[in-house]
Amino acid sequence: MPQASPELSSSVKLKYVKLGYQYLVNHILTLLLIPIMVGVLIEVLRLGPDEILNLWNSLHFDLVQILCSSFLIIFATTVYFMSKPRSIYLVDYACYKPPVMLRVPFATFMEHARLVLSSQPKSVEFQTRILERSGLGEETCLPLTVHYIPPRPTMEAARDEAQLVIFSAMDSLLNKTGLKPKDIDILIVNCSIFSPTPSLSAMVINKYKMRSNIKSFNLSGMGCSAGLISIDLARDLLQVHPNSNAVVVSTEIITPNCYQGNQRAMLVPNCLFRMGGAAILLTNRRWEHRRAKYRLVHVVRTHKGADDKAYRCVMEEEDPEGKVGISLSKDLMVIAGEALKTNITTTGPLVLPASEQLLFLLTLIGRKIFKQNWKPYIPDFKLAFEHFCIHAGGRAVIDELQQNLQLSAEHVEASRMALHRFGNTSSSSLWYELSYIEAKGRMKKGDRIWQIAFGSGFKCNSAIWKCNRSIEPPRDGPWLDCIHRYPVHIPEVVKL
């Protein structure tokens, strides 16, 4: 059609201009180097071999000069290698797959809610609405205690759930990697709500009979972004301790979390949070790079706790009846967006190609200094990463990030499908998403992955990984029996 084609051709032209610009700026050094080398080559050819030999003989090198130069070079190289941060490798990880016995279909969830909250029909209706729009599927799982009407969460039940989830994930990890428990030098367990004494890390050490000089840490209260905080802690520890293995266990124990009151802001977590856990093996041992799946490139942590609204936006508190629950404020999405912007401001320069950074800088200069009325330039992160793992906090979070970062449906597919199959598993959701990408066979050597997690506080943490070797779809893992069914279309509103 004649009307469409000028627009089409102009947009195609623009695309090529953009591509050309990116290629030019990102490879500027290569492009500058080539003419210089050509120039040198021409000069050498022009001079001829005799002239070159004369030039070489005229340079007087005596022994001291040679020795000093070599010494300097060796010294510089040694200092460089010694002060370079150790490479941290992710050897492998294992996600917990809950058994069918713990499955909660929508109909069962709603019926139990009706019976438990029989005097609060409005609260039941509210939960129905949340569940319909949540993006969860019918195979998400809740712990055994929550299947009872009414649930009676005891400390023992919470410990049972913790043992079930953590030990399953650990067993799976030890099996996959061939790691012996006695070889673990650093153990970090993060679980936000359930924090018993002795700690969950002590529970793991007891079960697996780990060494007495193990360095163990237990992070609690840090929300859904605690998984990446643990990775960051492991990385820092692995810089200090040479030739070490670190195991990070990320989970959230649901049993103490089931709120039985009627405050709406506190009922939302009931609808979204589900059982899950992951165990990750990190190492700084050089020879592991042969079999390691990923290399940790950056971890960027952003904390908005200084702002009162951000601090209060996810709050564990008692409702007027004295029942404890986690209250989510209405400003959650706005605060998450701001936290993300702050995180990107630090992450961007670390990962974006020069072309994007230049454009961002130019628009920034234009807007601030020359007061031009330009829109703020949103860098194209798709140029920096092949895969995105966005914490499956809920459908709204994924939608918000997809819009903010201008990602396509395929980029957020891992997050949406993990939310559908496993629900919001808190700090371990990033690992289910990564597992999805691997199960689909999309992970190739050299691919860069961006994991973004949000958590109470309010925090936004990013981890950037580089794929170390091409990964075949694994023969085990949480997606094994259902990956062929995915991706599924998730309707806006599910009819219950």
Partner 1 sequence: MVSDGGEGSVYGFRLSSVVPATVTGEDKVHGLSNMDLAMKLHYLKGVYFFRREAVEGLTISDLKEPMFEWLKLYYPTSGRIRRSESGRPMIRCNDGGVRIVEAQCDKSVDEWMAMEDHDIHNCLTYDQVLGPDLAFSPLVFIQLTWFKCGAMSVGLSWAHVLGDVVSASDFINMWGSIMADHAPPRSLGTNPTSPKPQFHQKLSQKPFSLKMTHPIGDHWLLPRANHPRMGTRYFHVTLDQLKRLLSAHSGPHAQSQPFQLLSAIMWKTLAKIQGESEPKIVTVCRNSYGERGDDEILKNAMVVSRVEADIGVAEADVSDLAKLIAEKTVCENGMIEETVGGDDGKSDFIVYGANLTFVNLEEVKLFGLEIQGHKPVWASYSIGGVGDEGAFLVLPAPDGDGGRTVTAILPENQLAWLRRELKDEWGIA
Binding site for partner 1 (CB under 8 A): 100-101, 103-108, 110-112, 114-115, 137-139, 144, 147-149, 495
| Rounded Cα gap, residues 329 and 307, in angstroms | 14
Toward partner 1, which CB reaches closer, 391 or 421?
421
User: Closest separation between CB of residue 493 and partner 1, Å?
Assistant: 13
Encoded tokens for 445:
């050597």
Of the candidates 257, 424, 461, 468, the residue annotated as catalytic is 424
To the query of whether residue 387 is one of the catalytic residues in this protein, the response is yes
Q: Residue 357: count other Cβ atoms within 10 Å of its Cβ.
A: 15
| Rounded Cα gap, residues 156 and 97, in angstroms | 22
| Rounded Cα gap, residues 162 and 115, in angstroms | 27
User: Closest separation between CB of residue 30 and partner 1, Å?
Assistant: 53
User: Closest separation between CB of residue 486 and partner 1, Å?
Assistant: 13
Q: With beta carbons less than 8 A apart as the criterion, state whether 457 and 412 touch.
A: no
Toward partner 1, which CB reaches closer, 472 or 481?
481
| Rounded Cα gap, residues 431 and 293, in angstroms | 13
Please report which helix (H) or strand (E) contains residue 454, including its range: strand 448-455
Toward partner 1, which CB reaches closer, 154 or 243?
154
Toward partner 1, which CB reaches closer, 64 or 101?
101
- Specify the 3-state DSSP secondary structure of 296: strand
Q: With beta carbons less than 8 A apart as the criterion, state whether 478 and 96 touch.
A: yes
To the query of whether residue 420 is one of the catalytic residues in this protein, the response is yes
Terminal-residue alpha carbon distance, the chain: 46
- Which of 181, 241, 252 has its CA nearest to residue 455? 252
Toward partner 1, which CB reaches closer, 112 or 387?
112
C-alpha distance from residue 228 to each of 224, 427, 456 (Å): 9, 8, 13
CB burial class (10 A; 0-12, 13-18, 19+) of residue 434? Answer: buried
Beta strand pairing status for 448-455 and 387-390?
A: parallel
Q: With beta carbons less than 8 A apart as the criterion, state whether 365 and 359 touch.
A: no
Cα of 467 vs its chain's centroid, Å: 14
User: Closest separation between CB of residue 149 and partner 1, Å?
Assistant: 4
Encoded tokens for 282:
């990190």
Toward partner 1, which CB reaches closer, 391 or 420?
420
Of the candidates 270, 391, 411, 461, the residue annotated as catalytic is 391
Of the candidates 245, 262, 303, 467, the residue annotated as catalytic is 303
CB burial class (10 A; 0-12, 13-18, 19+) of residue 442? Answer: middle
To the query of whether residue 298 is one of the catalytic residues in this protein, the response is no
Toward partner 1, which CB reaches closer, 59 or 100?
100
- Which of 27, 93, 30 has its CA nearest to residue 465? 93
Encoded tokens for 47:
């001079």
Of the candidates 257, 343, 387, 461, the residue annotated as catalytic is 387
Of the candidates 420, 460, 467, 468, the residue annotated as catalytic is 420
User: Closest separation between CB of residue 144 and partner 1, Å?
Assistant: 8
User: Closest separation between CB of residue 317 and partner 1, Å?
Assistant: 29
To the query of whether residue 391 is one of the catalytic residues in this protein, the response is yes
Encoded tokens for 377:
């330039």
User: Closest separation between CB of residue 280 and partner 1, Å?
Assistant: 29
User: Closest separation between CB of residue 127 and partner 1, Å?
Assistant: 14
Toward partner 1, which CB reaches closer, 147 or 301?
147
Letter for the amino acid at 39?
Answer: G
| Rounded Cα gap, residues 289 and 283, in angstroms | 9
Write out the catalytic residue numbers: 224, 303, 387, 391, 420, 424
